[in-house]
Homo-oligomer: A and B are copies of this chain.
Amino acid sequence: MSLTRDLTRLIREKPVTERDLEWASLFVLDTLGCALGALPSEPARMLKAVAPPAQADTARKAFYLGGLSHILEMDDLHRDSVTHPGSVVIPAAWAVAHDHDLGGEAFLRAVLAGYEACCRVGMSVGKKHYRIWHNTSTCGPFGAAFAVAELIGLDDDRTVWALGNAGTQSSGLWEFLAEGAMSKHLHTARAAESGVLASFLAREGFTGAQNILEGEKGFYAGLCPDPIPEAVTAGPDRAWQLITTSIKPWPCCRHTHPAIDGAIALHAEIAGEAIAKVKVGAYRAALDVCDRPIPEDPYSAKFSLQHTVAIALADGRVDQASFDADARQRMAGERKKVDVELAPGIEAAYPESWGAEIVVETASGRRLSAARHDAKGDPGNPVTATELSEKARAQLIAGGSSPARADELIGAILALPGNRPVRSLGLLELAGDARPHARAAGSA
């Protein structure tokens, strides 16, 4: 027996519907928006200097796109595996589909398969793994390798070799966080590239360990103090893991999202009336990380429940501009009106549910309230295709695309289930050509 062999069979026997392909195209749109939106940032300039896409081989293209995708921290999140599968799987699949001139349908099928491999390995690593290791970085290579194996038509044996060589390349330590270093973008870059290399080598006959996960000197032995091997193949008939992946609608801490969602809904009801007082009820982890009454820079504003709720109530939306100096100054008085506190019911439901409740009192004494049981963008509270397109459009424009080019690209990505060749979208040219802006618009 071999867990990666079982996983390979499970994925290859899983039926793919038209609707699954449409879902996948939404996640592709989201990831590529994140990637191209990051182009004006300093880390993107650095990655491009080291891996200029025009001269890059396929694995290096995956490296570049993989790095780009994770810079804005706006890419998708699979809660049960604590991975960002899109930032690794989609870059690898895109680079291969581009260089092999493949069609959108094959590409989307590979994306579904790649998410499945990344998320299922991620669900098996155990909680202690995450204390030291960056799950996206360690589990991502499995997802990237699987997606590429699908695209280049590896049989089951070679796919298992590829997964073996993906796992033996798994790396990514959280230590960079202590100083806020940039390694996180390198992690997704490397994970995407590792998967491409592993599958390309397997195509040539390069062998790998078939028990890379469960073997005596394998991934669990080396990196996982409390693994859950059975999670790799549990519930084979569940929906594709891609469909249970969350999308981030706003460029700020995920813990602020349910409160922002409620605040945006209340914005319309308030209808411009002055606010007297706001109460936000949240779960403990949200308070631990995001009870921040006076944020002093864009990054801390993204981790402030007071700021995010105030600006969502005032503007009815949240975007990159919501955290800049003007916005922070404009909200100085409004933030003072926001009290945050522990809400026992919300806390009891966490972490299965990431919820929030808000009560607003207006100057005229009206009381308005909103409650959320899921973070906006979770499968239980999904973003619509329209909302997602708006997010991507804003990112593409911030990344240097014209509005017309952005709309064209969004349309083409959402039409991928119709099997248009991936290369014809011109994404890599866009990612390679865009000039860095004078100031990094997107990086926190």
Contact = CB atoms under 8 A, between A and B. Distances in A.
Q: Is the interface of A mostly helix, strand, loop or mixed?
A: helix
Nearest to A181: B207
Interface stretch (A45-53, A293-301, A402-410): A45-53
Interface stretch (A9-17, A164-172, A234-242, A268-276): A164-172
Interface residues of A, number: 61
A176 B60 contact: no
A187 interface: yes
B169 A164 contact: no
A177 B46 contact: no
A153 interface: no
B221 A208 contact: no
Interface stretch (A78-86, A210-218, A277-285, A332-340): A210-218
Given A133-B222, A178-B215, A49 B207 contact: no
A60 B49 CA distance: 15
A206 B177 contact: no
A206 B186 contact: yes
Contacts of A207: 176, 179-183
A67 to B, nearest CB: 9
Given A57-B56, A133-B222, A177-B217, A168 B197 contact: no
Given A50-B200, A59-B60, A180-B207, 14 more contacts: A46-B206, A57-B60, A161-B181, A164-B181, A168-B171, A169-B171, A173-B218, A175-B219, A176-B208, A178-B215, A179-B207, A182-B207, A190-B194, A190-B197
